[in-house]
Amino acid sequence: MASSTEQAGTPRRRPGGRTARVRAQVLDAVLAELGEHGYDGLTMEAVAARSGVHRATVYRRWGDIGGLLADVLDAASDDAWQPPDTGSLTGDLAALNQEIQDAMAAQPSIMAALIAASFRSEKAEHAQRRLWDDRYARCEIVVARAVERGDLPPGTDARRLLIAATAPLYHQLVLLRTAPDPDLPAHAARTAALAATAGAFTTS
């Protein structure tokens, strides 16, 4: 478990038994409260009441709202998620984009709420960066497979390509707050894949 004061890159201990149950109850409550009330409505007292965990325990273990949000984000890196494998670069990127759009369009959008909260809490901001680094690292296999198939030139920068492929989703849904476009995931994937095939993301 990551304490509220651990810095990025510090190994996290995985709790077990009752400790794990308490953590799960509290983090589930954080997500529910965040989805219903947003960052401004998220309180330690509400989380304690919803989780059934004593308020003193919540304060002692997580410290404050920032500590709770940081642990929620750190917990997301403990999952077994892997990017789609469709057999083509465009297909993989389109499927990845569809997952992003579905998560952002869900009501309430926990993903959007966590992104917003990261701008309000320094601890959540650091945890958000750790989560992005984790997800980008897992998605590098998408680019590696494409290079192995001969679909992309060697030396393609995976991080730059992945950002280019997914950025239109965040721009539309987070910045412009437009309704989800059913064609956008595939269109953004095709655009990024064409640019990558032409060598737009190769390193010198």
Same domain, 149 and 56: no
Residue 22 above 70 pLDDT? yes
Given a contact cutoff of 8 angstroms between Cβ atoms, the answer to whether 41 and 33 are in contact is: yes
Among residues 35, 51, 76, which one ends one of the domains? Answer: 76
Same domain, 72 and 122: no
Given a contact cutoff of 8 angstroms between Cβ atoms, the answer to whether 72 and 30 are in contact is: yes
Domain total of the chain: 2
Residue 76 above 70 pLDDT? yes
Residue 9 above 70 pLDDT? no
Same domain, 119 and 71: no
Residue 163 above 90 pLDDT? yes
Same domain, 103 and 191: yes
**Nearest CA-CA partner of 30 in 11, 5, 58:** 58
Among residues 76, 98, 118, which one ends one of the domains? Answer: 76
Kindly report the number of other CB atoms within 10 A of residue 134's CB atom.
Answer: 17
Q: What residues contact residue 110 under an 8 Å CB cut-off, 6+ apart?
A: 31, 34, 35, 103
State the pLDDT at residue 8: 33
Q: What is the DSSP letter of 173?
A: I
Residue 204 lies in a domain: no
Residue 137 above 50 pLDDT? yes
- Max CA pair span of the chain: 58
Residue 47 lies in a domain: yes
| Interval 14-26 mean pLDDT | 83
Residue 138 lies in a domain: yes
Residue 203 lies in a domain: no
The CATH number of the domain holding residue 177 is 1.10.357.10
Given a contact cutoff of 8 angstroms between Cβ atoms, the answer to whether 58 and 52 are in contact is: no
Residue 118 lies in a domain: yes
| Interval 46-56 mean pLDDT | 96
Residue 68 lies in a domain: yes
Which of helix, strand or coil describes residue 97? Answer: helix
Same domain, 116 and 171: yes
Same domain, 101 and 125: yes
Q: Could you check whether the bond before residue 11 is cis, i.e. omega within 30 degrees of 0?
A: no
| pLDDT-derived band at 17, boundaries 50, 70, 90 | confident
Distances in Å between the Cα of 198 and the Cα atoms of 54, 170, 191 are: 58, 24, 11
Same domain, 72 and 93: no
Bigger pLDDT: 15 or 131? 131
Same domain, 188 and 107: yes
Same domain, 59 and 124: no
| pLDDT-derived band at 101, boundaries 50, 70, 90 | very high
Same domain, 40 and 107: no
Task: Report the chain's mean pLDDT, rounded to a whole number.
Answer: 90
CA distance 110 to 80: 19
Residue 204 above 60 pLDDT? yes
CA distance 105 to 99: 10
The CATH number of the domain holding residue 23 is 1.10.10.60
State the pLDDT at residue 1: 27
Residue 85 above 60 pLDDT? yes
Q: Which domain holds residue 191?
A: 89-197
Residue 51 lies in a domain: yes
Give the range among 3-12, 29-38, 73-82, 93-102 with minimum mean pLDDT. Answer: 3-12
Given a contact cutoff of 8 angstroms between Cβ atoms, the answer to whether 43 and 16 are in contact is: no
State the pLDDT at residue 16: 60
Residue 10 lies in a domain: no
Among residues 53, 76, 99, which one ends one of the domains? Answer: 76
